[in-house]
Amino acid sequence: MKSKKVICIFLLMIGFNFSCQNSKKTDTNTTAEKTLVVERGAFHYDVFTIKNDSIFFEPKQIREGATSRYYTPFGKKLSKERLDAFFSLLDSDSFMMLNDHYDSNKSDNSILVVTYTFGDNSKTITCEDFERNCPNVMQYIEQHMIRLSGKDLKRINLPG
């Protein structure tokens, strides 16, 4: 009788240990393992990057003046909730099913490139023009990155 109790306790301890080891495994789909890069062309040539829990802005040129917010690099932390909601869009099949390249038959293009890296995988989508023949989700991603930055860095269209 005593040996049955010892065996039961031993089996419970092994089961508990196995359960604890499995619960320690990390989720391979965490925000910390994801990077999103949005590159804008034409007048801007700037880059927004979300990496880990922060968003960064890198302009092509750094200068001061009336439009200095467009030429000043910055970074700020973002909440996990905001990032998880945003990344859920990118994790959906609809984003992953997009073509890698969208052409434009116009000469006054403003390129938009989105690169999403998650774990060992990466997807880059290039639109030769952010307005023409560019999927709505790409425009949404660009606008959402601008909103997350909090800097109101809207696209500036040049006349002509």
pLDDT digits (tens, 9 = 90+) for 79-122: 999 898 888 878 876 788 899 999 988 777 888 999 999 888 89
Mean pLDDT of the chain: 77
Q: Which domains does the chain have, with CATH numbers?
A: 31-149 (3.30.1560.10)
What's the CA dihedral at 45, 145, 94, 129 to 10 degrees?
Answer: -30
Phi and psi for 149 in degrees, rounded to 5?
-70, -30
Residue 25 has pLDDT above 90, yes or no: no
User: Which residues, 6 or more positions from 117, have their beta carbon under 8 angstroms from its beta carbon?
Assistant: 34, 35, 36, 37
Residue 75 has pLDDT above 70, yes or no: yes
- pLDDT given at position 4: 53
The pTM (predicted TM-score) of the whole model is: 0.73
Q: Are 45 and 71 within 8 A, CB to CB?
A: no
Residue 10 has pLDDT above 60, yes or no: no
Residue 158 has pLDDT above 60, yes or no: no
- Closest among 148, 152, 7 to 76, alpha carbons compared: 148
Residue 155 has pLDDT above 60, yes or no: yes
* Mean pLDDT of all residues in 14-37: 56
Residue 16 has pLDDT above 90, yes or no: no
What whole-number percentage of the chain has pLDDT above 90? 29
